[in-house]
Chain A
Amino acid sequence: MIHLHGVHKTYAGAQPLHVLKGIDLDIAEGELVSIMGASGSGKSTLLNILGILDDYDEGEYRLAGTLIKGLSETRAAEYRNRMIGFIFQSFNLIGFKTAVENVELPLFYQGVSRRKRHQMAMEELEKMGLTDWATHYPNEMSGGQRQRVAIARALVTRPQIILADEPTGALDSKTGVDVMELLKRLNREEKITMIIVTHDPNVASQTNRIIRIKDGVIEG
């Protein structure tokens, strides 16, 4: 599903920063992996590259067989929309939209009709057990509920991979466990490839595979 080979990334500036120094990584379909590393290790950069949020300088990255390199902003946006679902630490829901509107948003950018996307979004919310909260705004919900809305939003486009950046980072431990259970269930039942970036060993230990990154290279 994901194939990285010799990926390098340097941030230009007064003092060029060589962040990724040759990453080789393969993730198969349906895998649940976690990426761990200290801050400054390059794990966020790696996530950005995996999520097509940022470009890389050298090497190659194939996502579901498609070479992702030097894409135009428009193509990148399109691939992100169709292939990748994002889950962020701070949920990143749009505050002035209701839960269901937030879930609908990726479909809106795909040009799905109003009725169809509303129906799809409601289905997704139902799976998360949030049917009753569909018309609530994010600030009327608990952290766990917000994260579940964000997960619904990530899933609604049926992406090939889910990228989760510290999904439990902003949640209390009990809710964090619930969210992890949910992600694991989704991986198990819907066979969605899932990559979780975290520095919480408890979270990492629940995944099939742990990728440790240090100083821009993958350890062991």
Chain B
Amino acid sequence: MIDLDSFHELLETLLRNKTRSFLTGFGVFWGVFMLVALMGGGAGMKELLNNNFEGFATNSAMIWEQPTTKPYHGFRKGRYWNLTTSDVERLHQQVPQLDVISPMASKWGVQAVHDDHKFNGNVKGLLPEYAKVEAPKLYYGRFINDMDIAQQRKVCVIGKKVYKTLFPKGGDPCGQFIRLDSVYYSVVGVDYGGGNMNINGSAEESISIPLSLMQRAFNMGENIEMIAITAMRGVAISDITPRIREVIARPHDIDPTDEKAVMVFNTEVLFGLLDSLFEGVDLLIWLVGIGTLLAGAIGVSNIMMVTVKERTTEIGIRRAIGATPRVILVQIISESILLTTVAGMSGILFAVLILQMLELGFTEDGIVQSHFQVSFWTAIGAAALLAALGILAGLAPAGRAMAIKPVDAMREE
């Protein structure tokens, strides 16, 4: 029944009441726009937030030292102590469930100099394994490797801000030297990892050098500041936390139950929290989006009701001169579908446009930071949903139109 003629008829009826068709369509337009834009926006925000934890192993924990809070072995509480390299050894030997155990040292407020450019950053002493805890996003060069450690090479990986400040002209800085205090280091890599999870200062403002070199260059002896660990697959960090604490606490004469002194910060908990937060946000998005869309569809249904009422005579005449109820049904439902899909498609289009602009706004140096755009299939799904809503919205008015008898039309006179 849908041929060019019928389509022409449809268009004619809808265009006869331009303002009304427009206003009715606007409800649907806005509903779809809200749904698609919220879905894309939600996904984008989620990605943006996740960027803060970008590159972080999800089953990881950080261990660091704090003054004791419980008296133990004759020591008073409030005592300062230091993590040392031997703690790393002990963890290796006594907690087999751990995968990566990466100690790190750090020093704040170190001035890095290149030519006449200066940057006040923090220096981190790392081992190559650290890349497994917080994955670097190398824009140039490489990360610190085993040979650097073995040969005590004076090399460094610099963060994005450090790079931009020291090398304002851009270009590959690898092989050039920067000075920290009185020692020159060769740049081997630039890390663009921009996570906001600041482990000993943000990666952007850090200069990473081999751990053993750092301990010497900055007179640290065996002391380290923090140990980053990841658990083996299938092991929950929270299950082995007491064991880790015990292994570290005992040699330092610390109460193994002193949770403050041996701080084990479990990222797993954080990720879990974030996940449930986004589940909630997703639910809200669907609720609001579908709700608005439904309101729009009900608006269409409502207006179609009025239209049918208004067209009683016309429909009666059509019936009298031979339109079957099916013809009338198809016509009303088609009108409803046409109105909802045209308005809805514009809504999808507009939402996609806005999302694309958002995505462009969040692109830096050609790297897309967050994907706001909805997928092609989401758009197709939205369109299918619209057609279904169009049919539903048309059902009640079509039912009423079908109930019109030709006789009623003449009685209306």
- A residues apposed to B, CB below 8 Å: 48, 51, 53-54, 73-74, 77-78, 80-82, 86, 88-90, 92-96, 105-106, 108-110, 114, 153, 157, 165
* Contact A96-B313, Cβ < 8 Å, known A74-B325, A109-B322: no
New A-B pairs, 6, CB < 8 Å, besides A77-B319, A86-B320, A94-B318:
A73-B324, A77-B322, A81-B321, A92-B410, A96-B12, A157-B322
State in angstroms the CA–CA spacing of A80 and B410 once bound together. Answer: 16
Chain B residues with CB under 8 Å of A109's CB are 318, 321-324, 327
Chain A residues with CB under 8 Å of B405's CB are 53-54
B326 within 8 A of A: yes
Contact of A114 among B5, B317, B318 (CB under 8 A): B5
Contact of A74 among B4, B324, B407, B409 (CB under 8 A): B324
Chain B residues with CB under 8 Å of A89's CB are 413
A81 closest partner in B (C-beta): B322
Chain B interface residue count, Cβ-Cβ cutoff 8 angstroms: 23
Distance (whole angstroms) from the CB of B400 to the closest CB of chain A: 15
Distance (whole angstroms) from the CB of A137 to the closest CB of chain B: 12
A113 closest partner in B (C-beta): B5
Is the Cβ of B326 less than 8 Å from the Cβ of A90?
Answer: no
B128 within 8 A of A: no
* Contact A94-B322, Cβ < 8 Å, known A53-B406, A108-B5: no
A93 closest partner in B (C-beta): B317
Chain A residues with CB under 8 Å of B76's CB are none
B411 closest partner in A (C-beta): A44
Contact of B320 among A73, A80, A108 (CB under 8 A): A80
State in angstroms the CA–CA spacing of A86 and B406 once bound together. Answer: 11
Q: Among A77, A90, A157, which residue has the most Cβ atoms of chain B within 10 A?
A: A77
- B residues apposed to A, CB below 8 Å: 4-5, 12, 16, 313-314, 317-327, 405-407, 409-410, 413
State in angstroms the CA–CA spacing of A207 and B5 once bound together. Answer: 40
Distance (whole angstroms) from the CB of B296 to the closest CB of chain A: 26
Contact of A105 among B313, B321, B406 (CB under 8 A): B321
Chain B residues with CB under 8 Å of A74's CB are 324-326
B405 closest partner in A (C-beta): A53
Contact of B410 among A88, A108, A157 (CB under 8 A): A88
State in angstroms the CA–CA spacing of A160 and B92 once bound together. Answer: 103
Is the Cβ of B325 less than 8 Å from the Cβ of A86?
Answer: no
State in angstroms the CA–CA spacing of A95 and B311 once bound together. Answer: 11
Is the Cβ of B324 less than 8 Å from the Cβ of A106?
Answer: no
Chain A residues with CB under 8 Å of B323's CB are 77, 109
Jot down 13 A-B pairs with beta carbons below 8 A, ordered by A. A53-B320, A77-B323, A80-B320, A80-B406, A82-B322, A90-B413, A92-B313, A92-B317, A94-B317, A105-B321, A106-B322, A109-B323, A153-B321
Chain B interface mostly helix, strand, loop or mixed? helix
State in angstroms the CA–CA spacing of A18 and B405 once bound together. Answer: 20
B13 closest partner in A (C-beta): A96
Distance (whole angstroms) from the CB of A100 to the closest CB of chain B: 14
Is the Cβ of B321 less than 8 Å from the Cβ of A86?
Answer: yes
B8 closest partner in A (C-beta): A114
B311 closest partner in A (C-beta): A94
State in angstroms the CA–CA spacing of A84 and B5 once bound together. Answer: 24
State in angstroms the CA–CA spacing of A53 and B406 once bound together. Answer: 6
* Contact A94-B314, Cβ < 8 Å, known A48-B407, A54-B407, A108-B5: yes
Chain A residues with CB under 8 Å of B413's CB are 89-90
Is the Cβ of A96 less than 8 Å from the Cβ of B16?
Answer: yes
Q: Among B313, B318, B319, B322, which residue has the most Cβ atoms of chain A within 10 A?
A: B322
Chain A residues with CB under 8 Å of B406's CB are 53, 80
State in angstroms the CA–CA spacing of A209 and B409 once bound together. Answer: 29
Chain B residues with CB under 8 Å of A114's CB are 4-5
Distance (whole angstroms) from the CB of B320 to the closest CB of chain A: 6
Chain B residues with CB under 8 Å of A78's CB are 322, 324
Chain B residues with CB under 8 Å of A94's CB are 314, 317-318
Is the Cβ of A105 less than 8 Å from the Cβ of B318?
Answer: yes
Is the Cβ of B325 less than 8 Å from the Cβ of A77?
Answer: yes
Is the Cβ of A92 less than 8 Å from the Cβ of B16?
Answer: no
Distance (whole angstroms) from the CB of A159 to the closest CB of chain B: 10
B318 closest partner in A (C-beta): A105
A94 closest partner in B (C-beta): B314
State in angstroms the CA–CA spacing of A77 and B327 once bound together. Answer: 10
Chain A residues with CB under 8 Å of B325's CB are 73-74, 77
Chain B residues with CB under 8 Å of A153's CB are 321
Q: Among B318, B324, B326, which residue has the most Cβ atoms of chain A within 10 A?
A: B324
State in angstroms the CA–CA spacing of A133 and B152 once bound together. Answer: 101
State in angstroms the CA–CA spacing of A82 and B314 once bound together. Answer: 20
